Structure 1
Amino acid sequence: MHRNRVSRLFKFAKKQKVFEVAGVKLGGQPGQLPTVLIGSIFHKGHKIVKDPIKGVFDRRRAEHLINLQDEYSDKTGNPCMVDVVGETVEALDRYIDFVASITDSPILVNGVESSVRVEASRHAVEVGLKDRVVYNSLNFRCTQEELQVIGELGLEVAIVQSFNPHDPTPRGMLKILAGLLEKVEKYGVSKPLVLTPVLDIPSIGLAATGLKLIKENLGLPTGCPPVGVVGRWKRKSEYSPSAIDSCRGATLALVQTMGADFIIYGSLSKAPRIFPACAFIDAIIAYHARFQGVRPLTRNHPLYRIF
C-alpha cells in the first residue's frame, strides 16, 4: 500500500510529453528533466522601467538581471526562460529586442492586453525570433481573432491557463482545459504549456493539486506561479526577516513534488534564491525517481551538479 502511494506521487501512469523550445526541454516524468525556471522583467512596478509607454529602461541594470538568471541556470542545471512584460506594443517590441540580444533563452511575450501580445509576437517573428517565442498567454477569454494571428504567425508554443471562473477547483481546471486545448491546437499551438492559477496564498494548494491532476490525465508540461503571492503575506512582520524566503522555498517544494515542469517565480532579481532551492529539490526528486525506474534525460540535471 505504501509503495503504491509513493509511486503515484513520483511517477505518473499517463505517458508524459516532452516539449523543446529553443533548446530548452520541459515535461516528462518527475526526475527526468529539471524544473524550468522563468523570471520576469519590465513588469508593472519594476523600478528599472523609466517610461512604460515608450519602453525606456535602465539598460545596464536590465542586462545585469538577465545575466544573473543565466549565471544561476548554468550553476544549477535548471534551464530558464525570460517572461518579458510590456504595457504597449512599442515598449514590448523594444524589450524583446533587448532581451534577445543578451540571452539565448526562450522569451515569453507577455502584454497586458491581447492586442499588445499579438503585435509584439508579430514583431518577434519578423526579426527572426519565432523559434524562441512563447506566447503568454491564452485563457478561456481568448478570441478567434487572437488565435487566427497566432496561427498566421506559426507560433507553436503558448502558455495555456487552466483558470476556471465557475469552478476554481483542480477538477474545474481540468474541465476547462478540455475545450480550450482543442481550440488552441486548431490554430497551430502544438506545444501548450499548461499553467495552473495562483490567486492568493491558500490557492497554492489548489494549483499544486491541479497541476498533478492535469499531468495525470493529459500528460502535458504543466507549471504554476507560486512565489509572487508569498510576498503579500499580511502577517509576515510577525516573524523573522528570513521567514519570507523560507516560505517561498516551501511553496517551491510543494509544487515541484506535485510534478511542476516549470515555475514562473517573479522578478529576475530573485534568481539567486530561487535557483538553488529548486535545484536542491529537483536533485532529491531525481534520486528517488531512480527507484521508480526513472532516470534523468540529461547529464546537466541538478542531481549531477549540486552534490
Structure 2
Amino acid sequence: MFAVSCFFILSSMFLFRGVLSAPTCELRLDVRSSIEKRGIPSAPRWVIYSDKWVSGATGPPAVSEIAGFNVFALSFLLIGGAADKALEWTQLSASDRSTIKSEYSAAGISLIVSAFGATDAPTTGGANAASTANTMAAWVKQYDLDGLDVDYEDFTAMDKSDGSAEAWLATFTQQIRTQLPQGQFILTHAPVAPWFSVSNIFAGGAYLKVDQTVGGLIDWYNVQFYNQGTTEYTTCDSLLNTSGGDWPGSSVFEIAAAGINLNKIVIGKPAQAAGDANNGYIAPATLATCVSNAKAKGWNAGVMVWEFPDAAASWISTVRSVAYPV
C-alpha cells in the first residue's frame, strides 16, 4: 500500500499433529467449533486496512467505528517480523486479543494481517518463498487471526519481466495454503491494477500469470486502483470500463475480460484525496455511484479502502449507500 492463547495451542495440535493427549473428545469438539466459526466472508467484501498510528489506541478499533466493513487488515507483517498495527496486536494480552476477536466475530468482521507492503521486496531481496510462507502462516495461527493478505509490492522484480516475481508469488501462495487451508483461513492478494493488464511491459504475465497458476487458492483480490497516474481510475468510466491513460486494459471489466473472476475484483481506493495515496482518489458519494453501476453489470465483489481512521463507518456507509445500504 505505502509504507498464544490456550485455544491456539489446542487447535494447532489438532490440525498439525493429529493426535491429542486425553481428554481428546472434548478438545476436538472445541477445535472443530472454532474452525466452523472462522469461515470466509461471502461477497461482497468490504475491506479496510490499518497501518497508521492512532493516539491512545493499541490494536484494532471498536467494531462500532468500522460498522459496514466485514474485513479488517492489520498492517504489516514483514519478513523481519510484525510492524505497526500487526505489532500492536502482539502487544495486547492474550485475553484482550480473545475479547476483540469475539467482538469482531459477533459483528461479522474478519480480522486478518497484511504482509509485505511497500517496505518489503521479497523477491528482489532473495527471501525464500516457501520458508517465508511457513513463518507468516505460523504467525497468523499463533495470534489467532482469520487469514493473510499478500500486499506484494516488489516492483523491481515484477518490472524485470523474467517470471521471477510470478514464480515467487505462486510458490508463496501454494505453501501458505498447506498451512492455512482454504475454507478455514482467508487468503487474499492486493496487486496494483496494471498488473492485471495485457501488456508487453509485463512479459512474465504479472498477475494474469499468478491467477492462472494459483488463482484458485486465492479468495479474492484487493486491487489497488490508485497510485498509478494522475488521471487513472478517477471516474466511474475509467475505473470500471476503459482505463486508458498509462495503463490501458486495467479497469474492472477489462480485468474480468482478461480472464479474472469478476467477483474476485474488489475495488481498492484511498480514503482521502491527499495523505493516503498520491492519486486515484474518488469521493465516497461518487464511488457509491460507480459501485451501483458495477453491480448493475453483474459485479458483486466489494470495496477496499486504505486506510483507517481516514476511512471508517461513515465512509463505507456512503460508499454502500446506493447499491448496498448498510
Give TM-score scaled by structure 2 length. Answer: 0.51
- Which residue pairs with 2:171 in the alignment? 119
Structure 1 residues 147 and 167, CA, compared in 2 at 3 Å: closer, same or farther? closer
1:150 is matched by which residue type in structure 2? D
Verify the 8 A CA contact 2:112 2:147 in the aligned structure 1.
Answer: yes
- Which residue pairs with 1:254 in the alignment? 315
2:187 is matched by which residue type in structure 1? V
Shift of 1:180: 1.9
User: Which structure would you say has the larger RCO, counting Cα contacts within 8 Å and 6 or more residues apart?
Assistant: 1
| Matched length | 213
Cα distance in 1, alignment partners of residues 235 and 43 from structure 2: 22
Structure (1 or 2) with the greater helix fraction:
1
Taking the TM superposition and a 5 Å limit, the aligned residue runs for 1:1-307 are 22-27=39-44, 34-43=68-77, 48-49=82-83, 60-61=90-91, 64=94, 67=98, 69-75=100-106, 77-86=107-116, 87=120, 88=122, 89=129, 90-91=131-132, 93-103=134-144, 105-113=146-154, 115=165, 117-131=169-183, 132-142=186-196, 143=202, 144-153=205-214, 154-156=216-218, 157-163=220-226, 165=229, 166-171=231-236, 172-175=238-241, 176-185=251-260, 191-198=264-271, 200=274, 206-209=282-285, 211-219=287-295, 220-228=300-308, 248=310, 251-259=312-320, 286=326
1:35 is matched by which residue type in structure 2? F
Verify the 8 A CA contact 1:170 1:213 in the aligned structure 2.
Answer: no
Cα distance in 2, alignment partners of residues 183 and 66 from structure 1: 41
Structure 1: 5+ residue stretches without partners: 1-20, 51-56, 231-247, 261-281, 287-307
Shift of 1:174: 2.2
- 1:21-45: per-residue Cα shift (whole Å, max 9, x none)? 943134299xxx9521312243579
2:139 is matched by which residue type in structure 1? F
Verify the 8 A CA contact 2:191 2:207 in the aligned structure 1.
Answer: no
Verify the 8 A CA contact 2:112 2:145 in the aligned structure 1.
Answer: no
1:159 is matched by which residue type in structure 2? N
Q: CA RMSD in A?
A: 4.3
Cα distance in 1, alignment partners of residues 284 and 146 from structure 2: 26
Runs of 4+ displaced beyond 6 Å: 44-47, 202-205
Structure 1 residues 183 and 63, CA, compared in 2 at 3 Å: closer, same or farther? farther
2:42 is matched by which residue type in structure 1? K
Structure 2: 5+ residue stretches without partners: 1-37, 47-66, 123-128, 159-164, 197-201, 242-250
- 1:154-206: per-residue Cα shift (whole Å, max 9, x none)? 23522223336343423232232231232251xx6752222224462597971
Structure 1 residues 252 and 58, CA, compared in 2 at 3 Å: closer, same or farther? closer
Shift of 1:226: 4.7
Give TM-score scaled by structure 1 length. Answer: 0.53
Cα distance in 2, alignment partners of residues 139 and 208 from structure 1: 20
2:234 is matched by which residue type in structure 1? T
The answer to which of 60-69 and 105-114 deviates more is 60-69
